[in-house]
């Protein structure tokens, strides 16, 4: 089975621009979560989508948004980029069932490294 794929792998943007990152989950996985990884803050949860609906949201400003499509693929958008948004953005998928607890293992993709200049 192919793993979680993320595109692009590297991205350089300037302050004020917006960016869209894409994630394709493992086939059959319906839950997709996004995380931001930085040296200072570590791994922080952004949001989780299941069946095209946002199920959980982390403590990030509204500039960070996401969506999920009917084929479970997900996109994450960051508007009005700031220098502090430079990070590795990780996507993870799991075979989480609707209404079930978070016991399913999350499988992570390689990440998109975003640099904001």
Our CA angle for 17, 9, 49, nearest 5°, is: 75
Report the DSSP pairing between strands 42-50 and 31-38: antiparallel
Minimum gap (Å) between residue 15 Cβ and another protein: 27
Stretch 14-43 residues interacting with another protein (CB under 8 A):
33, 35, 42-43
Residue 112 has what DSSP assignment? E
Q: Which residues contact 110 (CB under 8 A, 6 or more apart)?
A: 4, 5, 6, 9
Stretch 48-107 residues interacting with another protein (CB under 8 A):
48, 55-56, 58, 90, 92, 99-103, 105-107
User: Is 1 a binder of another protein (CB under 8 A)?
Assistant: no
The site for another protein (CB under 8 A) is made up of: 33, 35, 42-45, 48, 55-56, 58, 90, 92, 99-103, 105-111
């Amino acid at each position: 089975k192919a793993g979680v794929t993320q595109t692009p792998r590297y991205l350089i943007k300037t302050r004020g621009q917006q960016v869209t990152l894409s994630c394709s989950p493992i086939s059959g996985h319906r839950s997709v979560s996004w995380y931001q990884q930085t040296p200072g803050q570590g791994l922080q949860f952004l949001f989780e989508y299941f069946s095209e609906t946002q199920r959980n949201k982390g403590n990030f400003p509204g500039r960070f948004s996401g969506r999920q499509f009917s084929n479970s693929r997900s996109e994450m958008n960051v508007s009005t980029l700031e220098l502090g948004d430079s990070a590795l953005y990780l996507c993870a998928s799991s075979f989480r069932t609707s209404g079930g607890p978070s016991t399913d293992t999350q499988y992570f993709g390689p990440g998109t490294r975003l640099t904001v200049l």
